Amino acid sequence: MATDAFAPLQLLAAQLLPHALEPSEDGAHDGSHLQRVWHNVRTLHAEEGGDLGVLLAAVLLHDCVAVEKNSPLRSQASRLAAEKASAVLSDMAWPSAKISAVAHAIEAHSFSANITPTSLEAKVLQDADRLDSLGMLGVARTFYIAGRMGSALYDPQDPEATARDYDDKRFCLDHFQTKLLHLADGFQTITGQRLARVRHERLKGFMVLFKEEIGIT
């Protein structure tokens, strides 16, 4: 992967990229995802601040352990990634305080881990990663992952789950209600909250059009 996308820290990116991703067929958590999250981090950092080196390390290593969405280990993925990142940075002779800062940011970024970020860098990473689950990218990733997991687009008998429980493992449309439409409420930074509201409205707009096209008025 080219390091230019991780400016202005291309040299650090070159050191960390070999450790960034395990072999995986998950196109929602690949190199392009890392590039998008870094772009979001740079946008947030411009207004919120933070240690840019810690942030880049956290971005590049936050998915360094591959765990599928339907794995029973999913809630532990960020902890496993934090442990691996700590070992990588220790081998690079990083100061222990910065290693701890990266590890906390990685462990707290995950929605399923439900860990409250306490540092600025952890808040920025969590916001940057969650922005990639909203807006049109959130739509694209949701349907992509549903296809990989073998889910249907929606329940043709009850698309809006008026007489059943939501089941986002079976029906992709349900995932908007179980997760995506709740993400914007949990952003940590002022800048992240502002950007999340814009993408949240795009999600809602997509759902209106989608329901219209499947015959729900």
Length of the chain in terms of residues written: 217
Share of the chain above pLDDT 70, in %: 93
Q: What pLDDT score does 17 carry?
A: 95
Q: Cβ of 72: how many Cβ atoms within 10 Å? A: 8
- Would you identify the CATH topology of the domain 135-213? Hypothetical protein af1432 (1.10.3210)
Say if residue 102's pLDDT is above 80: yes
DSSP β-bridge partners for residue 171: 152
pLDDT digits (tens, 9 = 90+) for 154-165: 999 999 999 999
The CATH class of the 4-115 domain is mainly alpha
Tokens of 185: 């409420």
Share of the chain above pLDDT 90, in %: 81
Same fold across 4-115 and 135-213: no
Give the per-residue SS3 of 85-153.
HHHHHHHCCCCHHHHHHHHHHHHHHCCCCCCCCCCHHHHHHHHHHHHCCCHHHHHHHHHHHHHHHCCEC
pLDDT digits (tens, 9 = 90+) for 30-52: 889 999 999 999 999 999 999 99
Q: Where are the domains of the chain?
A: 4-115, 135-213
Asked if 1 and 17 touch (Cβ cutoff 8 Å), the reply is: yes
How far, in Å, CA of 150 to CA of 178, rounded?
A: 18
Range 107-131 average pLDDT: 93
Cα dihedral 9, 57, 64, 181 sign: negative
